[in-house]
Amino acid sequence: MAVKVAPSLLSADFSRLRDEVKRVEENGADWIHLDIMDGHFVPSITIGPVVVKSLRPHTEMFMDAHLMVSEPEKHIEEFAKAGVNLLTIQVEVVDHLDRALRKIKDLGLKAGVALNPATPASLLEYVWPLLDLVLVMSVNPGAGGQAFIPEVLPKISYCAEQIRIRGLPTEIEVDGGVNRETAHAIIKAGATVLVAGSAIFSAEDGMQLISEFKKI
C-alpha cells in the first residue's frame, strides 16, 4: 500500500500559512503535519491552538499535530477544540502515558506517541492497543532541515513487528530528514506515513515529492 505523505508546515512560509496548506493539499498530501514547540521541551517556539484553529476551515486534510511541549496533558483539550484529528505527544515528557492517551481518545481524536532517536520503543509495550500512531523521530526534535539518523531504522522495523504481532492498525510515522535519498530505506523498514518539511517546502521541485513518495 502507498505511504501517506504529511508535509510539515514548519518549513512553509509562515506569512502565508493558509496558501501553503492549500498548496500541499492540491499536490496530493494526505495529512498536514503541525509541529507545536513550546520553547521548553525544545528551544524553538512555533504555533499554538489559535493558529491551528484559524487554519482548520481552510483545509479538508487530516490535521496531524506533533506536540513537542513539556506537560502535554495540559494542552490536550485546547488542541481538540482547535480541530486537530490526531494528537501525538512525546513519551519523554508524559508522566502518565496511559491516562494521556485515553484522554485524547475520549475527546474523539486519534492518539499518537513520539519517540526521540534515543528513546526505546519497548516503552510502548503496554500501550500498543491504545496507539493509532507511533511517531519515530529520525532527528532530534526542534528544527527542520537536519540530517536523517540511520540508527532509527531498526526501531521502525521493531515497531512494525510489534504492530504485526498484535494485529493492530497502528500507523508508523517517520519524521526528520525524510527526502529522496532516505525515503526508500524508511519505507522498507515499515513506515506508513512520511513527514517531510524542508524536502517539500524548501526545494524547487519539492511539491513533486508528494506523489513520488507514494509511488515508492
Residue 114 Cβ, how far from ligand DX5 at the closest point, in Å? 8
Kindly state whether residue 3 participates in binding ligand DX5, applying the rule CB under 6 A: no
Nearer to ligand DX5 by Cβ, of 178 and 187: the residue is 178
Stretch that binds ligand DX5, among 54-62, 94-102, 160-168, 175-183 (CB under 6 A): 175-183
Give the catalytic positions in this structure: 35, 175
Interaction of residue 4 with ligand DX5, rule CB under 6 A: no
Residue 192 binds ligand DX5 (CB under 6 A): no
Q: In what order do the strands lie in the sheet with 193-196?
A: 4-7, 193-196, 171-175, 133-137, 110-115, 86-90, 62-68, 31-37
Judged by CB under 5 A, which of 76, 175, 183, 191 binds Zn ion?
Answer: 175
66 part of the interface to Zn ion, by CB under 5 A: yes
Considering only the stretches 15-23, 46-54, 89-97, 144-152, report the one whose residues sit in contact with ligand DX5 under the rule CB under 6 A.
144-152
Map residues 11-30 to x or -, x wherever contact with ligand DX5 holds by CB under 6 A.
Answer: x-------------------
Please give the residue ranges that form the binding site for Zn ion (CB under 5 A).
35, 66, 175
Binding interface with ligand DX5 (CB under 6 A): 8, 10-11, 33, 35, 66, 139, 141-146, 175-178, 195-199
